[in-house]
Amino acid sequence: MIRIFPAAMLFFVVAAIHGCGYRQISGRSEFSSIRIMPVENRTREPDIPDMLRQAVAEELLIDRRVTVASSNSDAQLESIVTAYRLNPTAEAGDRATQYEIVLAADFLVKDSGGKILSRIKGLEPPVREVFSVGADAAAAKIGEEAARGKAVRALARELRFRMLPK
């Protein structure tokens, strides 16, 4: 009976791991090159798609595990910016003095035959960027633009971490 116990425990551990949907992910990608398609924009911010496409390309170039290609790639990345809004986080009297940027996007990675390799919905940066607003409207706009750039880069970095696990 003592010899059966370790074998039974091993069986239950293996069954539990496979039954729970656990899957080991290696650091290797299913593709070596990727084409970043133009980003669809579902917000009222016209510059976000180009900013995101550029930031994703930069993140992948930094990583060096996948080559960014303009054509003839193993995979393609399709992106949709689904949300961009400013939420007030601090007020003085009846006026907002600080905002956080809410940015979200959906991503789809397909192989060269159109098979979906990865789908990431509603991805947001891990930390929301915040900027202050004073009486000077020009300074507020500059603060928003800087925070928006940081939010887009953080979103691209988060996508890289999800798309290419170490």
Could you tell me the mean pLDDT of each successive run of 10 residues in the chain, 166 residues long? 45 38 43 95 96 97 92 95 96 92 97 94 95 87 95 97 87
Report the DSSP pairing between strands 67-69 and 33-36.
parallel
**CA quadruple 150, 155, 160, 161: dihedral positive or negative?**
positive
CA-wise closest residue to 29 among 138, 155, 164: 164
pLDDT score at 3? 52
The token duo for 100 is 């956080």
Contact 67, 34 (CB under 8 A): yes
Residue extents of the structural domains in the chain: 29-163
pLDDT score at 14? 38
The token duo for 124 is 């947001």
Look up the CATH number of domain 29-163.
Answer: 3.40.50.10610
pLDDT score at 143? 94
Q: How far apart are CA 48 and CA 46, in angstroms?
A: 6
Burial code (b: 16+ CB inside 10 Å, e: under 16) for 123-150 equals: bbbeebbbbebeeeeeebeebbeebbeb
